[in-house]
Structure 1
Amino acid sequence: MYMYIDLNKKVMKFFVEFEKVWCGVLNIYNPYRDPWKIRISKCIPDFDGQAHKKYKGYQFVYDKLFIARSQSIPCGTLENLLENRHDLQEFPIFIKPRYGHKSASSKNCYKIHSFEELKRYKDIPNMMWSQFIDDTEGMTDFFIHKGTIVYQMTMKYSDTQHGVIADDWKYISPENKPPENIITWVQANMNGYTGVCNVQYRGTKIIEVGLRFSRGGAYLLTTKNHELIKAVNDLCENETWDYSNTKDFSFVPFYSFKCYTDSPIVYLYPQYLLDFIMKYNGCLDFYEWYFEPSGKTGMVFLQYLHEDYDKGMTLKNNIEIVFTITQYVVFLLILSSIISIAFNYKYKNQILIALLFVVISRFLNAIVSNYNLFNAQKQSFLH
């Protein structure tokens, strides 16, 4: 819904204009632009709001209630459930915003264990409920030509998760395949469609569909298979696909790791330090500060890619420990500054200079990184 708030539009417009100057002057790395010799076509939507406007004949996929009903999953609107509580026979259930193009990440997504707990969310508009699907999540980017699936990239998720949203890692390989019933659903519902179709599912049940790439196309770019990227661009720009193409669309498999913390985030390392850590540990070109509240507590704060699972997991564990310790150290520095001023401590100037240095270094990042952190923290607080 935030995409339709005028104030937020103005803020984002300012960021887009100023971000280029800021990152240019400070030479800040842009993982969506800097590493790639070939880029994804601009005619492919980056966000669900854009895709919803562009593909008017397929807007129904953004109705998550339709998605659930099309698979005979027990579901309904939250409003109706609150009025007819006896219609629900079993908990837990999962509640979330009904319309995918109006919601952001995990905002207002909750696993509910009782009717009393459910009533706390009665004032949130356009919410739906469905049976809670206790299974491992997965995701596939389908590339479709006039209703025919011509290629797919499937991401296998870790079994371990934080809360109900965040995965520890994803495995992206040309050998991965989606469940057959997911393919069947896409073929049945995307008749005549040409473009990208991102499908998220738990087990064999679809939970969300979007008409854009996962992670802004970063996974496709990371394949570094120029023939594949060109073919997908041509598919979306010209609505054509060469069925006689015998070119190799394979790529080296890789993992996408997410770093998670339970501590409040008060500090981000400068982008230059993040660049050094990623390169020193053999990470792939795409990595970013990435903020996603995980339920009511905790936060995902970083995403990066690596070809080696063991090295990637070791790095993930080390980053999570050091990052969490850093948050408490900075918090103690802030507390020390307040106390030193209150009691006129003789070294207060030195403490304040140290704090100023820390505050300034946090902003040696893309402006959007700090803005996204603010939004994620606001979302987590409002939970």
Structure 2
Amino acid sequence: MPVLERDPWRLQYFEGSPCPEHVKIPTDDPDCWMLYPSDRWVYDKLRIAWTQDLACGPHGVPPNTYPVFSKPIINLRGMGTGSRKIASAEEMERFSEPGHMWMPLLAGEHVSTDCAVLGGRIAWLRHATGSPWTDGMFRHWRVHAGTMPVLASQLEVWVAHHMSGYSGMMNFETIGGTIIEAHLRFADQWCDLYGRGWVEALIELYSSANWQYADVNRVDGYSVPLFARHGHDYRHPPPALQEEVRKMPSVSSLQITFHQGKPQASHAMPPGGFRLAVINATDLEAAHAARRRLASAWSADLVLDQTQTEQELS
């Protein structure tokens, strides 16, 4: 399939859109790494920090002040794997690992921005903000109908300066306007919320180096995950229940986000929980209702209640 999708639960977004066989559209960072060797430097998070003049360094080079945020310099698996806050020099010594880095512990809104880029110019973008929960998990993401003008301008300047020869999709994660990660792809978790015709525009971008998308009648969308406790053998919910959830009001799509029968260690998951599913919808309360209905497929003591606090989960 020309759209390179490693997660079978997301093939639903692309199966109905014809794509020339010679076109390769990556949705996963390892494929991006192989397809774009001259631009793969964007996966070096130290380099991303340097482009913004941030205080940062690899483990072994001590920060001048604490707390800092620690993470792998390159992490193609995603999901916050190996990341943590480090509050002191003693903790830095205890958690120091080869291949990891530190940078400022940022504050502000956590935003994911998908961009269509043509020769270093952003032709389209859409923002999503995460509602953080605990231990690398999110309560939900909101895909905004509106644009964040200040952030959009910052990204336009960065792309023009650093990506002049690149055409394709990019995704940026920012906190308080600072880029923490860049990807040579889009966030395929919620591309169905971008509107009718978006996937066709995506295919034209990669097949013809052209971006034509009217993008009218935008509405806010919501992507709500369902997490459960690590260390248990989970099975997919019954097909009838999945179909029921997909037909619930305002639900755009349902993803069952794990491989049944594969070891949990083979899944990239945040430290706090094992993600069972993602529900996309155009109404947040409707998404929560669908999440509760889907959660009935598993034992209640294993499913994590996203209304709980950090203390209640511990």
| TM-score (ref. length: structure 1) | 0.65
By percentage of residues, which structure has more strand?
2
Distance in 1 separating the partners of 2:54 and 2:67: 14
Matches within 5 A, 1:1-20: none
Deviation track 1:315-354 (CA, whole Å, cap 9, x = no partner) reads 44565687452549xxxxxxxxxxxxxxxxxxxxxxxxxx
For the 8 Å contact 1:197–1:210, the answer to whether it is kept is: yes
Q: State whether structure 2 residue 253 is matched by structure 1 residue 285.
A: yes
Q: Which runs of 5+ in 2 are unaligned?
A: 1-5, 259-266, 304-314
Q: State whether structure 2 residue 203 is matched by structure 1 residue 233.
A: yes
Distance in 2 separating the partners of 1:30 and 1:157: 21
Distance in 1 separating the partners of 2:186 and 2:91: 35
Deviation track 1:48-100 (CA, whole Å, cap 9, x = no partner) reads 1221222222122111001111112211011323xxxxxx2322211111124
Distance in 2 separating the partners of 1:225 and 1:280: 18
For the residue of structure 2 that corresponds to 1:256, the secondary structure is strand
For the residue of structure 2 that corresponds to 1:168, the secondary structure is strand
Distance in 2 separating the partners of 1:113 and 1:223: 39
Aligned residues with identical type, % of pairs: 21
Deviation track 1:10-41 (CA, whole Å, cap 9, x = no partner) reads xxxxxx8xx9xxxxxxxxx9542378532677
1:129 Cα shift? Answer: 0.8
4+ residue segments displaced more than 6 Å? none
1:141 Cα shift? Answer: 0.8
1:289 is aligned with what amino acid?
A: T
Equivalent of 2:100 in 102, 127, 143: 127
For the 8 Å contact 2:224–2:279, the answer to whether it is kept is: yes
By percentage of residues, which structure has more helix?
1
Cross-structure match for 2:17: 38
Deviation track 1:286-322 (CA, whole Å, cap 9, x = no partner) reads 4222566433x43333211111112223444565687
Distance in 2 separating the partners of 1:232 and 1:193: 15
For the 8 Å contact 1:143–1:197, the answer to whether it is kept is: yes
Q: Given the superposition, is the C-alpha separation of residues 77 and 35 from structure 1 closer, same or farther in structure 2, using an over 3 Å criterion?
A: closer
1:171 is aligned with what amino acid?
A: R
For the 8 Å contact 2:81–2:268, the answer to whether it is kept is: no
For the 8 Å contact 1:292–1:301, the answer to whether it is kept is: no
Matches within 5 A, 1:290-329: 293-295=269-271, 297-316=272-291, 323=298, 325=300, 327=302
| TM-score (ref. length: structure 2) | 0.78
Distance in 2 separating the partners of 1:136 and 1:265: 33
Q: Given the superposition, is the C-alpha separation of residues 93 and 181 from structure 1 closer, same or farther in structure 2, using an over 3 Å criterion?
A: same
1:98 is aligned with what amino acid?
A: I
For the 8 Å contact 1:182–1:205, the answer to whether it is kept is: no
2:257 is aligned with what amino acid?
A: W
Cross-structure match for 1:59: 40
Cα RMSD, aligned residues only: 3.0
2:105 is aligned with what amino acid?
A: F
Distance in 1 separating the partners of 2:39 and 2:217: 30
Equivalent of 1:94 in 69, 72, 87: 69
For the 8 Å contact 1:78–1:128, the answer to whether it is kept is: yes
Distance in 1 separating the partners of 2:287 and 2:154: 32
Cross-structure match for 2:263: none
For the 8 Å contact 1:144–1:197, the answer to whether it is kept is: yes
Distance in 2 separating the partners of 1:183 and 1:40: 28
Q: Which runs of 5+ in 1 are unaligned?
A: 1-15, 20-28, 82-87, 329-383
Name whichever of 139-148 and 273-282 sits farther off.
273-282
| Equivalenced residues, count | 285
